[in-house]
């Protein structure tokens, strides 16, 4: 069964999941599912259609899409047949699907699925080799910036659904403005990519370090300063006016086109009530080659311990975390952009413009979990590990036979009515043991069977966890035929722990 010699004589192999992967269960799973469900609801509200692609693709499909990071792709073994590899993201599979399905001219597609990268895992930070992405993309030819604005509206709605709207900023920029700006400042064509990657670090490093990196990459100091003058700009619409006032910039065709796009975008985002979350940030560059227009990244201070502590202090005051003091540890929790040429890489006759967003669920999960734990410490909210609402139990005196078949029959009555119910899976359980099982699952209600009561067609319904002295502490007798209705009434009461 096992091939390697183990270190102990108990096991001849390592009992673990592969490096950078983990099992999900219990409260973690419930939190993650609640994030998926909130995101899915928003995606469907905007007309999203779900696509599910295979977990592996032909290697040729993935080749040449991820630049240097291609070394992180997981290959399947050559067992005869086709060369395949695990998907690296959900964007390339979408482009492959769009290239194959030539009758599709327009689609809003979403996909929530695992992707795979043979990166160095950082488990504590939630960076794994197997992780989820939640993607929404709009493919098709539309009038300028309308789908782009809807994607950003979706970002706002998703974080609203997750109660995080107050703690996010959508940083955005435009590839054409960035390229045009570099050109206008005199950055040589062949250095644009390298300089762009230096500029992208401005959110983490001070300007003089970024400038030093530019000079090391061969840029003249005066050109670097020109670039610096612009890429340090960030804010709202007023930045557009600042760019338009710079003749050297606006004379550049790329800059001009980008500015026109952003003017439309700001107008549309105003109609979508999303403008307050936008920071037009000229230093945002993003790595991927395939972006052709708008690019964006959602950041939050909540993904750092300091930022989280601040948000807890300020959570009542609705302050926006955009201030200088909150710049420490800002992490990206969603990102995307426009990519108009990717489908064309797969099918020369297909040209389908696309724009999309990918939510990093694992980082959002870490934030949500931290928040729930902090709320639980403060005594607000409870997290139940089980969803079961009713525990069916029995008790009796001397000669008590456990009433197993009767407990089964009552549980069955509840299941038929769609009620989540369990019972102790032993013939003669003791009463304290049954209460312990109910308590361990955080189950809010008990139905208690006794022989005499059953003979009279009744059972006892009891709310668990009520304080001593509560008028309903002992529960009440209910006729079997009214049981379902009485349980549903109790489950609708706000006093029960919500999950």
Both tokens of 477, joined, read 């007798």
Q: Is 455 within 8 Å of 410 (Cβ atoms)? A: no
Closer CB to a copy of itself, 133 or 283, in the complex: 133
Provide the minimum distance between the beta carbon of 5 and a copy of itself in the complex, in angstroms, as a whole number.
12
- Judged by DSSP in three states, 441 sits in coil
The answer to the question of whether 119 is labelled as a binding residue is no
Provide the minimum distance between the beta carbon of 258 and a copy of itself in the complex, in angstroms, as a whole number.
19
Closer CB to a copy of itself, 140 or 329, in the complex: 140
Provide the minimum distance between the beta carbon of 68 and a copy of itself in the complex, in angstroms, as a whole number.
15
Closer CB to a copy of itself, 49 or 209, in the complex: 49
Q: Per CB under 8 A, which of residues 336..355 are in contact with a copy of itself?
A: 345-349
> Whose CA is closest to 300, among 324, 318, 321, 284?
321
- Identify the residue among 232, 257, 267, 499 touching a copy of itself (CB under 8 A): 267
Q: Looking at 340-470, which runs of residues are DSSP E strands? A: 354-360, 390-394, 421-423, 445-449, 458-463
- Identify the residue among 26, 67, 206, 381 touching a copy of itself (CB under 8 A): 26
The answer to the question of whether 90 is labelled as a binding residue is yes
Name 49's Cβ contacts closer than 8 Å, sequence gap at least 6: 107, 108, 109, 110
- Identify the residue among 117, 153, 176, 226 touching a copy of itself (CB under 8 A): 153
Closer CB to a copy of itself, 230 or 435, in the complex: 435
The answer to the question of whether 91 is labelled as a binding residue is yes
Provide the minimum distance between the beta carbon of 221 and a copy of itself in the complex, in angstroms, as a whole number.
38
Q: Is 192 within 8 Å of 394 (Cβ atoms)? A: no
Q: Per CB under 8 A, which of residues 296..335 are in contact with a copy of itself?
A: none
Distance, CA of 28 to CA of 12 (rounded, Å)? 31
Q: Is 49 within 8 Å of 110 (Cβ atoms)? A: yes
Name the one range near a copy of itself by CB under 8 A: 167-175, 380-388, 393-401, 454-462: 380-388
> Whose CA is closest to 331, among 227, 204, 191, 488?
204
- Identify the residue among 162, 419, 445, 447 touching a copy of itself (CB under 8 A): 419
Both tokens of 28, joined, read 């973690």
Q: Does 188 bind a copy of itself (CB under 8 A)?
A: no
The answer to the question of whether 362 is labelled as a binding residue is no
- Identify the residue among 5, 7, 68, 77 touching a copy of itself (CB under 8 A): 77
Q: Per CB under 8 A, which of residues 455..474 are in contact with a copy of itself?
A: none
Provide the minimum distance between the beta carbon of 369 and a copy of itself in the complex, in angstroms, as a whole number.
15
Provide the minimum distance between the beta carbon of 212 and a copy of itself in the complex, in angstroms, as a whole number.
35
Q: Does 123 bind a copy of itself (CB under 8 A)?
A: no
Strand-strand pairing, 84-86 and 56-58: antiparallel
- Hey, what long-range contacts does 159-162 have (CB within 8 A, 24 or more apart)? 159/298, 161/38, 161/39, 161/41, 161/42, 162/35, 162/38, 162/364, 162/368
């Amino acid at each position: 069964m096992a091939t390697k010699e183990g270190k102990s004589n108990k096991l001849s192999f390592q009992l673990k999941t592969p490096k950078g992967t983990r099992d999900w269960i219990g409260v973690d799973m419930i939190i993650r599912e609640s994030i998926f469900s909130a995101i899915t609801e928003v995606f469907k509200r905007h007309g999203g259609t779900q696509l599910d692609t295979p977990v592996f693709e032909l290697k040729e499909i993935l080749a040449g899409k991820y630049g240097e990071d291609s070394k992180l792709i997981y290959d399947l073994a050559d067992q005869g047949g086709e060369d395949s590899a695990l998907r690296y993201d959900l964007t390339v599979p979408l482009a492959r699907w769009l290239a194959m399905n030539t009758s599709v001219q327009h689609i809003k597609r979403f996909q929530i699925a695992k992707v795979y990268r043979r990166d160095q895992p950082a488990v504590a930070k939630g960076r794994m080799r197997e992780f989820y992405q939640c993607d929404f993309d709009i493919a098709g030819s539309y009038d300028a910036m309308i789908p782009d604005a809807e994607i950003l509206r979706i970002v706002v709605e998703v974080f609203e659904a997750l109660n995080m709207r107050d703690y996010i900023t959508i940083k955005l920029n435009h590839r054409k403005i960035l390229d045009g700006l570099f050109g206008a400042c005199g950055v040589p064509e062949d250095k644009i990519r390298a300089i762009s990657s230096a500029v992208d670090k401005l959110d983490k490093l001070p300007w003089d370090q970024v400038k030093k990196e530019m000079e090391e990459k061969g840029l003249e100091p005066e050109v670097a300063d020109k670039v610096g003058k612009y890429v340090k700009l960030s804010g709202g619409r007023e930045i557009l006016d600042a760019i338009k006032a710079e003749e050297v910039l606006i004379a550049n065709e790329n800059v001009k086109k980008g500015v026109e796009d952003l003017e439309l975008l700001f107008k549309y985002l105003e109609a979508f009530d999303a403008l307050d979350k936008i920071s037009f940030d000229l230093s945002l560059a993003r790595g991927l080659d395939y972006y052709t227009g708008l690019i964006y990244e959602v950041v939050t201070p909540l993904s750092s311990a300091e930022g989280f502590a601040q948000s807890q202090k300020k959570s009542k005051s609705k302050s926006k975390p955009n201030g200088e003091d909150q710049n420490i540890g800002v992490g990206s929790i969603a990102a995307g952009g426009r990519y108009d040429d990717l489908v064309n890489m797969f099918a020369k006759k297909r040209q389908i413009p696309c724009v999309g967003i990918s939510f990093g669920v694992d980082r959002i999960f870490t934030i949500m979990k931290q928040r729930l734990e902090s709320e639980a410490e403060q005594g607000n909210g409870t997290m139940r590990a089980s969803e079961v609402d009713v525990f069916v139990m029995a008790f009796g005196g001397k000669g008590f036979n456990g009433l197993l078949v009767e407990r089964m029959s009552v549980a069955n009555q509840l299941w038929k009515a769609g009620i989540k119910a369990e019972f102790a899976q032993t013939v003669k359980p003791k009463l304290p043991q049954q209460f312990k099982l109910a308590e361990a699952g955080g189950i809010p209600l008990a139905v208690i069977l006794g022989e005499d009561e059953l003979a009279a067609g009744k059972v006892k319904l009891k709310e668990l966890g009520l304080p001593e002295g509560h008028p309903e502490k002992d529960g009440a007798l209910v006729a079997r035929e009214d049981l379902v209705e009485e349980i549903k009434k109790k489950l609708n009461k706000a006093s029960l722990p919500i999950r």
